[in-house]
Amino acid sequence: MSRDSESTADSPPALSHRAILHVDMDAFYASVEERDRPELAGKPLVVGGLGPRGVVSTANYAARQFGVHSAMPMARARRLCPQAVYLRPRMDCYREESARIFSLFRRYTPRVEGLSLDEAFLDVSGSLRLFGSAEAIARRIKTDIHETTGLTASVGVAHNKFLAKLASDLQKPDGLVCVPADAVHGFLDPMPIRRLWGIGPRTEPKLKAQGLLTFGQLRRADEAVLRSLLGKRAEHFRRLASGEDDREVVSDSPDKSISHEVTFDTDLTELQEMRAELQHLTDLVAARLRRRQLLARTVVVKIRDPDFRTVTRSRSMPAGTDATQTVYHLARALFDGWRKSHPSTPVRLLGVGVSGLDHHPGPDAEPGETTPMPLDGPDSRPLDALMDSINRRYGGNKIVHGQTLRRRRGDS
């Protein structure tokens, strides 16, 4: 791409002069586990829920050779690859690694649109004069990620999001594919039609029955034929097959909420177990608040029963908090209110969340801006600080509230 395509970070350039990267971490969860446990190197590895209701979150490339893939029921994965190592996700660890990686992205551009913990679009159009070509920036980002985290990423480079995302998937793992603006049709035309966004298992056979097997064939197809097969979206799919995509990279907005939830392998029936899970979820949520220096004004509890009926309860406070026990006492009060009217209903899923987020005012805040005292019992903030310090130093949840020790073991 030409270096004549620079623009300011505040105004996106013309579509044909954009420089877009799609960065996709390679088998992210599994790669983190392999890095942290070298004895797993070379072995098939599957990360996900291990109970009968579990699903695969990520499989490494050795496991994928046996047909294991994300979102697959874990029971099927075990049948396909019984020799694999199966691990539960360590979401806090993955979130920390993701935060490190996204901070690397922002060295090169403020225009970062996160799609998940392990992938993002970057508009580097305004960074070309400072860092070189889009391909050079992609190589620097890949190097930064590997040197900082020990992980690999695959990157697609193009002038729009659709092309960049397709490109990032072509040479995994550790790939880098660039699509020049004057070579789009040569890049797209041979691709199988199933790679076109929005073409699912119902539509693909209809297109194939008409001899439309590739992007190129769809791009050149008769307009009336496409309308009969794809209806009102026919022109949309033709534009994609031609490599046309005018969507901008939308920079991430600040967090609006933080939550954790768990689906149990077997439904919870004991109140003590439910409250223990509530405490555990609250510990995770409040720790994330403090890590991001945020305060929350609203606490939300989510409950799902075995018939998949889902209810939420929420309560707001006059001031924000990041204190674990403040959040827990509100969450417990909300849960207990539901439990009174459902005394014998088992719980399939439980979640705790917070919203109404604002930045922590810091030690010099005016009176009324500081974190409120817990609603019941002593101030938990000194204990929170100590627990955060220990868990940061030694990793994971090395120290927990005693209530959580009543959790049922073995649930995802």
| 213 pLDDT higher than 80 | yes
Quote the pLDDT of residue 60: 97
- Output the six-digit token pair for 307: 């018939």
Which top CATH class is 186-241?
Answer: mainly alpha
| 398 pLDDT higher than 60 | no
**Residue 338 zone, left/alpha/beta (φ > 0; ψ -120 to 50; rest):** alpha
- Give the residues across from 257 on adjacent strands: 355
Q: What is the C-alpha to C-alpha distance for residues 154 and 76, in angstroms, rounded to an integer?
A: 28
Phi, psi dihedral angles at 374 (to 5 degrees)? -55, 155
Give the residue numbers marked as catalytic: 119
| 393 pLDDT higher than 80 | no
- The CB density around residue 21, as the number of other CB atoms within 10 Å, is 29
388 in a known ligand binding site = no
Confidence band for 406, pLDDT divided at 50, 70 and 90: low
Where in 85-139 does DSSP place strands (E)?
A: 85-87, 112-116, 119-123
Quote the pLDDT of residue 7: 34
pTM: predicted TM-score of the whole model, two decimal places = 0.69
* CATH number at 257-406: 3.30.1490.100
pLDDT greater at residue 198 or residue 331: 331
Q: Please, where are the H alpha helices in 51-121?
A: 61-64, 74-80, 91-105
Quote the pLDDT of residue 121: 97
- Output the six-digit token pair for 80: 């396909």
Confidence band for 298, pLDDT divided at 50, 70 and 90: very high
| 20 pLDDT higher than 90 | yes
Confidence band for 91, pLDDT divided at 50, 70 and 90: confident
* Under 8 Å between Cβ of 207 and 229: yes
Residue 158's alpha-carbon distances to 161, 188, 385, 394, in angstroms, are 7, 12, 45, 42
Quote the pLDDT of residue 183: 95
Q: Using one digit for the tens of pLDDT, what is the confidence trace for 233-277?
A: 899 999 999 999 999 998 876 667 889 998 888 899 999 999 999
* Under 8 Å between Cβ of 157 and 164: yes
Could you confirm whether domain 14-163 is CATH 3.30.70.1350?
no
- Output the six-digit token pair for 375: 């609603």
Phi, psi dihedral angles at 187 (to 5 degrees)? -75, -45
Quote the pLDDT of residue 19: 96
Quote the pLDDT of residue 257: 84
- Output the six-digit token pair for 291: 């890590």
24 in a known ligand binding site = yes
| 170 pLDDT higher than 90 | yes
- Output the six-digit token pair for 176: 């880098």
Angle at 66 between CA 60 and CA 69, to 5 degrees: 50
Look over the chain and give the mean of its residue pLDDT values, rounded to a whole number: 86
Q: Sheet containing 257-268: which strands, arranged edge to edge?
A: 257-268, 347-359, 294-304, 310-321
Quote the pLDDT of residue 395: 57
Which of 66-80, 204-218, 279-293, 392-406 is predicted with the least confidence, judged by mean pLDDT?
A: 392-406
Three-class SS state of 76: helix
- Output the six-digit token pair for 342: 């459902």
Confidence band for 92, pLDDT divided at 50, 70 and 90: confident
Q: What is the C-alpha to C-alpha distance for residues 405 and 183, in angstroms, rounded to an integer?
A: 59
Q: What percent of the chain has pLDDT over 70?
A: 84
Q: What is the C-alpha to C-alpha distance for residues 241 and 371, in angstroms, rounded to an integer?
A: 53
Domain boundaries, the chain: 14-163, 186-241, 257-406
Phi, psi dihedral angles at 223 (to 5 degrees)? -60, -40
Quote the pLDDT of residue 291: 84
How confident is the model over 213-239, as a mean pLDDT? Answer: 93
How confident is the model over 149-169, as a mean pLDDT? Answer: 97
Confidence band for 409, pLDDT divided at 50, 70 and 90: low
- Give the residues across from 146 on adjacent strands: none
* Under 8 Å between Cβ of 352 and 333: no
Q: Using one digit for the tens of pLDDT, what is the confidence trace for 98-154?
A: 999 999 999 999 999 999 899 999 999 999 999 999 999 999 999 999 999 999 999
| 173 pLDDT higher than 50 | yes
- Output the six-digit token pair for 9: 């970070």
Quote the pLDDT of residue 5: 32
CA 198, distance to chain mean position in Å, is: 21
**CA-based torsion, 281, 284, 287, 289: positive or negative:** negative
Helix/strand/coil (H/E/C) assignment for every residue in 186-206: HHHCCCEHHHCCCCCCCHHHH
- Output the six-digit token pair for 337: 């209110």
Q: Is 226 exposed, middle or buried (0-12, 13-18, 19+ CB in 10 A)?
A: buried
Q: What percent of the chain has pLDDT over 90?
A: 67
| 339 pLDDT higher than 70 | yes
pLDDT greater at residue 320 or residue 216: 216
How confident is the model over 13-31, as a mean pLDDT? Answer: 87
Quote the pLDDT of residue 373: 45
Quote the pLDDT of residue 136: 97
